[in-house]
């Protein structure tokens, strides 16, 4: 219990003038309040406040209160009630003694933390304060309903935790992407140096396959961390889902009945089509696993106009038009104990070796990066199970038809092209320079931007700059800007394992090429060829 030595003179003056509280309230205020001795607006003001206020007589019993009193403390907070009878047994003596001390002027304003019978698991701060003599009451008691505040605090804590994990995941992904760049490039070179049917070629091919699997896992980490490069475009989700359905039917298996519920969308969304497909696939696979391969999955699409957003019960969502993607299953549901963890990376309920724990975290990251929201809810009986609801901001624009796949054209020879390679990771620098030299380029490899600028200042001729972004001292973005200022016709290509979308967009805006690690030598050659062609044009 915390006690303070009574109200200050300013507080006492305010209490004398405004005290408590006339006006229409839940069960009224005692005289002299009801006789209009106080400012009438005070009662009206207190009536609408979320603060629950009760006035107590000399015996410590409730003799009046405002509208919030019964809503906050419980329906038993009526005239004549002892406040101690409204709290859990273990807190009764504490509250009773506090009220008695305040009434007997043995203590000033006191704060105690108690749990009311109406919500025994939630402790609330109750303030008991003395009332100046002549007011017709002995003390007043106040508390507030903190359920909404605590709910918001939990949301903030969850969001903060997810953000911290996302930052960790993004940092890990950056380091792994550097390592995988070297692994993929080396395996590619080993395959080129050995005949197709040799053991060394097969070993290199296996290394490459596993490297690509690792790269896919890292991409999921980046998706969770919302650092995966996006190529958003206007999408007709009905068309996208229709094209994805054959794959979904294969993924869920013969034991699962897949039903598509499309209400006929009027809106489009602006998002990366590959990422939205991944969201739907991951949710469908999660639903299949929740039902152990037997049951029914519904994938529903629907427009959600702004007027209906408030009725969804998700205050965090803005009142704008959305498009909903909902995946429903008939599984056993999500236990309450783990409901707050399901979107965390590496969290899984599967046996060791049966899952990565990145499926739902990837979904979460993509949805957030796309400006949307995702919620889960249990489905009512008899179907049971869980529904995952994804809400994406809607657009009134019409999506363009899906273009036919482009024909992949082999990049032209870059033999004799002079390349300045800047990479602070020695292993990556050596592997890339060796691989590019084997493809005919004349490569000068340096470990930092300062050395690269010295090479340029010395008058050495280069056709292109290939630079990492995250480097100590001068980073790749600043280096690219300086090179462009000094040599406008020189091709510039940035690379990074920390492919933040803003970084990608900034490079595109400045007319600078960007390639995300890890990449194959063939992909790097194509990107270099594109930049060299653009610089000449």
Q: Is the pLDDT confidence value at 5 over 50?
A: no
- Look at 19-23, 70-74, 326-330 and tell me which has the smallest mean pLDDT: 19-23
- Three-state helix/strand/coil letters over 410-474: CCCCCCCCEEEEECCCHHHHHHHHHHHHHCCCEEEEECCHHHHHHHHHCCCCCCEEEEECCCCCC
Check: CB of residue 386 under 8 Å from CB of residue 331.
yes
Check: CB of residue 128 under 8 Å from CB of residue 139.
yes
Q: Is the pLDDT confidence value at 20 over 60?
A: no
Cα–Cα distance measured from residue 398 to residue 502, given in angstroms and rounded to the nearest whole number: 26
Q: Is the pLDDT confidence value at 8 over 90?
A: no
Model-wide pTM > 0.85: no
What pLDDT is stored for residue 211 in this prediction? 83
Integer angstrom CA distances of residue 213 from 12, 220, 524: 72, 11, 19
What pLDDT is stored for residue 1 in this prediction? 41
What pLDDT is stored for residue 164 in this prediction? 67
**Tokens for 27?**
């069960």
pLDDT digits (tens, 9 = 90+) for 51-74: 888 888 889 998 877 877 777 776
233-395: CATH topology:
Heat Shock Protein 90 (3.30.565)
Q: Could you tell me how far CA 521 lies from the centroid of its own chain?
A: 34
Instruction: Taking residues 143-149, report their average pLDDT.
Output: 72
418-536: CATH topology:
Rossmann fold (3.40.50)
What pLDDT is stored for residue 354 in this prediction? 54
Looking at per-residue pLDDT, the higher value among 103 and 16 belongs to 103
pLDDT digits (tens, 9 = 90+) for 239-255: 999 988 988 998 898 89
* CB neighbour list of residue 188: distance below 8 Å, 6 or more residues apart: 204, 208, 435, 520, 521, 522
Q: Is the pLDDT confidence value at 94 over 80?
A: yes
Instruction: Taking residues 468-481, report their average pLDDT.
Output: 89
Q: Which run of H or of E encompasses 144? A: strand 139-144
What pLDDT is stored for residue 405 in this prediction? 43
2-145: CATH topology:
Beta-Lactamase (3.30.450)
Nearest alpha carbon to residue 155 among 310, 311, 315:
315
What is the band of 29 on the pLDDT scale with cuts at 50, 70, 90? very low
Q: Is the pLDDT confidence value at 7 over 50?
A: no
pLDDT digits (tens, 9 = 90+) for 409-449: 455 589 999 999 999 989 899 999 999 999 999 999 999 99
């Amino acid at each position: 219990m915390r006690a303070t030595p009574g109200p200050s003179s300013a507080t006492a003056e305010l209490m004398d003038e405004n005290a408590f509280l006339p006006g229409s309230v839940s069960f009224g205020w005692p005289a002299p309040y009801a006789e209009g001795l106080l400012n009438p607006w005070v009662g009206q003001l207190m009536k609408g406040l979320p603060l629950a206020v009760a006035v107590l007589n000399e015996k410590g019993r409730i003799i009046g209160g405002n509208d919030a009193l019964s809503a906050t403390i419980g329906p038993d907070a009526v005239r004549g009630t002892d406040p101690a009878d409204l709290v859990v047994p273990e807190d009764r003596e504490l509250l009773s003694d506090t009220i008695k001390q305040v009434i007997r002027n043995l203590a000033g304003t006191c704060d105690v933390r108690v749990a009311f019978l109406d919500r025994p698991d939630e402790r609330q701060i109750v303030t008991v304060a003395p009332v100046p003599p002549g007011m017709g009451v002995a003390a007043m008691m106040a508390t507030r309903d903190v359920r909404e505040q605590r709910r918001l605090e939990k949301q903030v804590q969850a969001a903060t935790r997810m953000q911290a994990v996302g930052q960790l995941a993004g940092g890990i992904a950056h380091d792994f992407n550097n390592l995988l760049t070297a692994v993929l490039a080396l395996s590619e070179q080993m395959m080129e140096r050995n005949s197709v049917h040799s053991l060394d070629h097969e070993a290199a091919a296996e290394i490459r396959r596993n490297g690509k699997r690792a790269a896919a896992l890292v991409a999921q980490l980046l998706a969770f961390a919302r650092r995966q490069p996006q190529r958003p475009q206007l999408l007709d989700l009905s068309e996208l889902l229709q094209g994805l359905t054959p794959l979904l039917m294969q993924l869920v298996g013969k034991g699962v009945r897949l039903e598509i519920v499309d209400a006929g969308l009027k809106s489009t969304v602006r998002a990366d089509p590959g990422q939205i497909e991944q969201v739907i696939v991951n949710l469908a696979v999660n639903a299949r696993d929740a039902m152990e391969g037997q049951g029914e999955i519904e994938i529903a699409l629907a427009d959600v106009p702004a007027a209906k957003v408030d009725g969804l019960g998700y205050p965090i969502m803005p009142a704008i038009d959305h498009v909903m993607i909902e995946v429903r299953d008939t599984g056993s549901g999500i236990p309450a104990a783990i409901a707050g963890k399901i979107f965390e990376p590496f969290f899984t309920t599967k046996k060791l070796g049966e899952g990565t724990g990145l499926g739902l975290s990837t979904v979460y990251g993509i949805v957030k990066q796309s400006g949307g929201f995702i919620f889960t809810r249990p489905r009512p009986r008899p179907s049971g199970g869980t529904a995952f609801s994804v809400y994406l901001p809607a657009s009134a624009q019409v999506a363009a038809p899906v273009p036919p796949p482009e024909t992949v054209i082999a990049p032209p020879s870059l033999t004799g092209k002079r390349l300045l390679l800047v990479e602070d990771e020695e292993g990556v620098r050596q592997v890339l320079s060796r691989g590019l030299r084997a493809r005919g380029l004349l490569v000068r490899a340096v470990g930092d931007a300062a050395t690269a600028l010295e090479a340029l200042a010395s008058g050495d001729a280069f056709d292109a700059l290939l630079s990492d972004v995250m480097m100590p001292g001068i980073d790749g973005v600043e280096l690219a800007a300086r090179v462009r200022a000094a040599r406008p016709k020189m091709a510039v290509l940035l690379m990074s394992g920390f492919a933040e979308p803003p970084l990608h967009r900034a490079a595109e805006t400045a007319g600078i090429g960007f390639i995300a690690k890890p990449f194959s030598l063939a992909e790097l050659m194509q990107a270099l060829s594109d930049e060299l062609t653009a610089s000449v044009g």
